[in-house]
Amino acid sequence: MIRIRYIKSDEVSTAKRLIYRVAHTIFNDARPLEESIAYGESNGWLRDMEDIQQRYFDNGGIFLVMTDGDEMIGTGAIRQFESNICELKRLWLLPEYHGKGLGYRMMQELISFAREKGYERMRLETDSVHQKRAVAFYKRLGFSEIPIPKATDDDDIVMEMLL
């Protein structure tokens, strides 16, 4: 049975591994998964997850996990970006669960939470090259691309949705 619930403090390492595992596939990383995880950790890619309480729950946000029975299959979080804007973070779902409406279910939970907290807009940053499927998903939900202040030449885009 698929469930969405708050992350527990002892599940952070499992959630991080899930995110690295999905990213490893999406970004076609040629390194072995363990090497990719070590590289990501040494570069602080998921540093915001080191203190989920402070970075999310105490920062006007939420951090959810999706489970299928006892297995964690997805994550999703939001945190305050500005007083009336929240930032979507860590929306990841194992590839074998794609196309089943589960990402949509997670987003509905996050959007409901954001509205209850009084946020007026939700913003996200994603890679437009490797995450074309995610970009299309966000557009179907009502997100649109906005300019990036001080943009660099990387492949990231910023998207925003009115709540």
Quote the percentage of the chain above a pLDDT of 70: 96
For 58-115, what is each residue's pLDDT tens digit? 999 999 999 999 999 999 999 999 999 999 999 999 999 999 999 999 999 999 999 9
Task: Indicate if the pLDDT at residue 11 is higher than 80.
Answer: yes
How many whole angstroms separate alpha carbon 82 and alpha carbon 67? 30
The domain limits of the chain are 2-40+47-121
pLDDT for res 152:
60
Report the side by side order of strands in the sheet with 144-146.
2-6, 62-68, 71-82, 85-93, 121-127, 156-162, 144-146
Mean pLDDT of 5-17: 97
Average pLDDT, the chain: 94
Domain 2-40+47-121, CATH: 3.40.630.30
Q: Give the dihedral sign, CA 43/79/152/103.
A: positive
Q: What are phi and psi of 124, to 5 degrees?
A: -150, 160
pLDDT mean over 133-137? 94
Residue 129 is predicted with a pLDDT of: 87
- Residues 33-53 have pLDDT tens digits of 999 999 999 999 999 999 999
pLDDT single digits (tens) 117-134 = 999 999 999 988 889 999
Helix axes 102-116, 132-141, angle to 10 degrees: 50
Banded model confidence at residue 150, pLDDT cuts 50, 70, 90? low
Residue 151 pLDDT: 55
Element (DSSP H or E) covering residue 133: helix 132-141
Q: pLDDT grade, residue 147 (50/70/90)? A: confident
